[in-house]
Chain A
Amino acid sequence: MAEVAPARSGAEVAPARSGAEIAPSRQAKLKDMVDQDCGSCHGMTRQGGLGSPLLAEDLNKLSAEAVIETILEGRPGTPMPPWKAMLSREEAAWIAAYLMGEMK
């Protein structure tokens, strides 16, 4: 794990480096979810499949907020579902930062 920035709580928009808010055990579960559950559509190596690629260079064309919104709300008209029933905003922010290459 990379060093994480100090947590900023109560922010409207989750800070990109919000790893500190997520317990290490939960982080491991989120990584696994990205690999396995997201991987079903996006590929375990995130090269894309039925879903679009999730490589850092693809996602960095977007803002962190856009990625977080997509995770939480899904993309209507596509098979991407809203994950807000299973993920908090902080967790979605952590996944967005993880995918966008801000942590290893």
Chain B
Amino acid sequence: MAALVGLGLLSACQPALRGTGDLGLVVERADGRLMVVENSTSTKLASVAGLGDLSHAALVYSRDQRFAYVFGRDGGLTKVDMLTGTIAGRVMQSGNSIGGAISQDGTLVAVANYTPGGIKVFDAATLAQVADIPAMGADGKASKVIGIADLSGRRFIYTLYDAGEIWIADLSDLKSPKITKHTNIGKLPYDALITGDGRWYLAGLFGEDGIAMLDLWNPDKGVRRILDHYGKGKEALPVYKMPHLRGWAVAGDEVWLPAIGHHQVLVVDKGKWTEKARVDLAGQPVFAMARPDGRQVWVNFAVPDYSKVQVIDTQTKKVIKTLEPGLAILHMEFTPKGERVWLSARDSDKVVVYDTETLEQVAEIPASRPSGIFFTNRAHKTGL
């Protein structure tokens, strides 16, 4: 009830109408709860509870931006109604999941699983399961799945962590999904990203140096290894948190990647796939995220440097400011046109909002152990 009132959907006789384009969700991971938030006012509108284990939870949005599909660590898939602040549907789909994707046409939601591995695909409207595709590597063993993203048509691309393979599942015929496999892509691919145009799929490798890359305009050419020197190198540096490649770090004709184990980000030419520069940083980067206009890249860090955030000017490739917004900054999300960025300060129990021009804090919102922040404009972006 409280949530309904908070969203202004119930009034004496005339329900107020509103859109969802100004809304987002913040994961309060220790409590299995989401906050429904509003960009323009930097406020919380409602709380949605009962989502289970949300550690490392991710979500995607429906095409109409009304619903979020939340992928919980406990294998729960929850459909949340942004307008009513309620759970519209929930299924327990596996023992342990990590992320998911929604198809280009918005009809299918695919979930990538750690246990038992593989992907499961659900009808976005009803949450009825429509496909279950195990991930058996060439070695005959079940594999954890990471880095799932939507491709054109009813296709999903994802990576097998244990087996070192990239698969594409085509679900245009639900009765017989077609799988295309690229094997031997490298050891322990830990995360992957797809560029916003849907052309390049990059998987970072933990077990060896380099990045596995697939050109989806020319998939027959197979997976190429790029940036051979990219990785931990000879000195096996401890990596206190696996970097995320999905930080959407494409700015203009450059891709910004967290250097695994090093206190650096790499700048790579998008298309030639050669390194152009490295920028030294305050710690091991986790996310390197480009402001929507590509003029800045914001970086957060692994423990013990995770209370800092650095802002890089992409033209000069220099850190222009080191911020300390709060304790344990886990995630960053730009407003759709990038005038502000929201940061979750897990150990300060708050979300802080910064102006991206002045680099000053403009708001903060109390939140219980916040982690992921997701705005509804992701609904119309490939790979998000």
- Interaction A to B: yes
Residue positions of A touching B, CB distance < 8 A:
32, 35-37, 39-41, 43-45, 47-50, 74, 76-79, 81-83, 85-86
**In the complex, A45 Cα to B72 Cα: how many Å?**
12
Residue of A nearest to B286 (CB): A40
Determine if B188 and A47 form an interchain contact, defined as CB atoms under 8 angstroms apart: no
Residue positions of B touching A, CB distance < 8 A:
29-30, 53, 55-56, 73-74, 95-96, 98, 114-115, 144, 146, 161, 188, 190, 206-207, 236, 238-242, 303-304, 328, 346-347, 369
- For residue B190, which residues in chain A have a CB less than 8 angstroms away from its CB? 50, 79
Residue of B nearest to A33 (CB): B303
- Give 18 CB contacts A-B under 8 Å: A32-B347, A36-B346, A37-B240, A40-B55, A41-B242, A43-B56, A44-B53, A44-B55, A45-B53, A45-B55, A45-B73, A47-B74, A49-B56, A50-B98, A50-B146, A77-B207, A78-B188, A81-B238
- For residue A82, which residues in chain B have a CB less than 8 angstroms away from its CB? 238
- For residue B369, which residues in chain A have a CB less than 8 angstroms away from its CB? 36
B119 to chain A, nearest CB (A): 16
Determine if A43 and B53 form an interchain contact, defined as CB atoms under 8 angstroms apart: yes
Q: What number of A-B contacts does a CB cutoff of 8 Å give?
A: 68
Determine if B238 and A36 form an interchain contact, defined as CB atoms under 8 angstroms apart: no
- For residue B55, which residues in chain A have a CB less than 8 angstroms away from its CB? 39-40, 43-45, 49
A80 to chain B, nearest CB (A): 9
Determine if A48 and B304 form an interchain contact, defined as CB atoms under 8 angstroms apart: no
* Neighbour of A44 across the interface among B29, B303, B347, CB < 8 A: B29
Residue of B nearest to A32 (CB): B347
Determine if A81 and B96 form an interchain contact, defined as CB atoms under 8 angstroms apart: no
Determine if A40 and B56 form an interchain contact, defined as CB atoms under 8 angstroms apart: yes
B342 to chain A, nearest CB (A): 20
**In the complex, A32 Cα to B303 Cα: how many Å?**
13
B178 to chain A, nearest CB (A): 28
Do most interface residues of chain B lie in helix, strand or loop, or is the interface mixed?
Answer: loop
- For residue B30, which residues in chain A have a CB less than 8 angstroms away from its CB? 35, 44
Determine if A86 and B303 form an interchain contact, defined as CB atoms under 8 angstroms apart: yes
Determine if B161 and A50 form an interchain contact, defined as CB atoms under 8 angstroms apart: yes
**In the complex, A37 Cα to B242 Cα: how many Å?**
11
Determine if A37 and B96 form an interchain contact, defined as CB atoms under 8 angstroms apart: no
**In the complex, A85 Cα to B239 Cα: how many Å?**
12
Determine if B303 and A50 form an interchain contact, defined as CB atoms under 8 angstroms apart: no
A44-B55, A44-B73, A49-B73 known; A76-B96 Cβ under 8 A: no
Residue of B nearest to A77 (CB): B207
Residue of B nearest to A74 (CB): B238
- For residue B56, which residues in chain A have a CB less than 8 angstroms away from its CB? 39-40, 43, 49
**In the complex, A41 Cα to B190 Cα: how many Å?**
11
Determine if A79 and B206 form an interchain contact, defined as CB atoms under 8 angstroms apart: yes
A36-B346, A43-B53 known; A50-B238 Cβ under 8 A: no
- For residue B347, which residues in chain A have a CB less than 8 angstroms away from its CB? 32, 36
Determine if B161 and A81 form an interchain contact, defined as CB atoms under 8 angstroms apart: no
- For residue B98, which residues in chain A have a CB less than 8 angstroms away from its CB? 49-50
Determine if A49 and B96 form an interchain contact, defined as CB atoms under 8 angstroms apart: yes
Q: Which of B30, B161, B303, B347 has the most CB of A within 10 A?
A: B303
Residue of B nearest to A44 (CB): B55
A44-B55, A45-B74, A49-B56 known; A85-B236 Cβ under 8 A: no
- For residue A77, which residues in chain B have a CB less than 8 angstroms away from its CB? 207
Residue of B nearest to A81 (CB): B238
Residue of A nearest to B146 (CB): A50
B132 to chain A, nearest CB (A): 20
A82 to chain B, nearest CB (A): 5
